[in-house]
Amino acid sequence: MTFFKRLASGVFLFWCLLIFTIVMIGVLPFIVIITALVKGKAGHNAAFFFLRVWGWLVAILCFFPVRSANRDIYDKEKAYIFVSNHNSYLDSVAVVTAVPRPFKPLGKVEMNRIPIFGMIYRRLVIMIDRKSPENRKQCEADLRHQLLKGQSVLVFPEGTMNRSNKPLATFYDGAFRLAIETQTPIAPMVILNARKLFPRDNPLKIKPGLIDCKFLAPIEVRGLTMADLPDLKTQVYELMERSISGREFISI
């Protein structure tokens, strides 16, 4: 990378971080007030509206437009377990703008430490500490509770950002065990281009561009038992991998 390209990328990175922070500060009071006054699903969904506003403003002002395919294929009366690949910091912008309904995400507890962002994070996210077996059990219980209330949830089954050269990292069992336990359909989605636009390992390669999100047909789990978990996980993995690799066409 030449000096001028590096300089331009540095300026653009600073601009994106500035917009990310300013807009986050702007929506913070609304999210804090709403979650303090209105409890339960209604409060979360109202606060989620402002999180979606944050996502759209960041996408527009930082020149990362989000395009979604097949986002209307889901039953509006059902709760779903949305599962998505995860390989860029832009994934948070993609999911809050593209997923067609409010959801309760599962996220790493470490993100809670980020100034400002952490204040929103702990109000809207179920935080998991994978080093703590007790915490993992509590998170699963919290997710089950959300689903039983009719609230969709979102899980990155890779557990963390994929830093390999493969389309997907290995999946954890959690999302699929939860689907079987609660008999909740899985809604796979894939985020494309995000890693190319904002690589985790080299932030100075950031560049504006289109983020494509593709929603795949929901997978029913009615009647499945824990004995079916490995096959269910493999089915979802292969479906998402084909879509990421471009071997499956999804119309817009």
Taking the C-alpha atoms of residue 132 and residue 118, their distance in angstroms, rounded to an integer, is 20
**CB-CB neighbours of 62 under 10 Å:** 23
Token reading at 205: 């390669």
pLDDT of the residue at 2:
80
CATH no. for 65-244: 3.40.1130.10
pLDDT band, residue 213 (cuts 50/70/90): very high
pLDDT single digits (tens) 147-163: 999 999 999 999 889 98
pLDDT given for residue 251 in this prediction: 37
% of the chain with per-residue pLDDT over 70: 97
Handedness of CA 53, 112, 90, 173 (dihedral sign): negative
Q: How confident is the prediction for the chain on average, in pLDDT?
A: 91
Please give the residue that has the higher pLDDT: either 65 or 111. 65
pLDDT tens-digit series, residues 59-77:
999 999 999 999 999 998 8
Task: Write down the domain spans for the chain.
Answer: 65-244
Chain centroid to CA 1: 31
36 — phi, psi (to 5°)?
-80, -35
pLDDT of residue 73: 93
Q: Strands of the chain (E only): list them.
A: 66-69, 81-84, 103-108, 126-128, 152-155, 186-192, 211-215
Would you place residue 133 in the very low, low, confident or very high pLDDT band (cuts 50, 70, 90)? confident
**Sequence-ordered list of residues with C-beta below 8 angstroms from that of 47, at least 6 positions apart, any chain:** 30, 31, 34, 35, 123, 124
* Confidence category of residue 239, pLDDT binned at 50, 70, 90: very high
3-state secondary structure of 132: coil
Does the predicted TM-score (pTM) go above 0.85?
Answer: yes
pLDDT at 228 over 70: yes
Q: Cα–Cα distance between 151 and 145 in angstroms, integer?
A: 9
pLDDT of res. 131? 78
Two structure tokens written together for 92: 């948070």
Using 50, 70 and 90 to split pLDDT, how confident is the model at 252?
very low
Q: Which residue has the higher pLDDT, 112 or 220?
A: 220
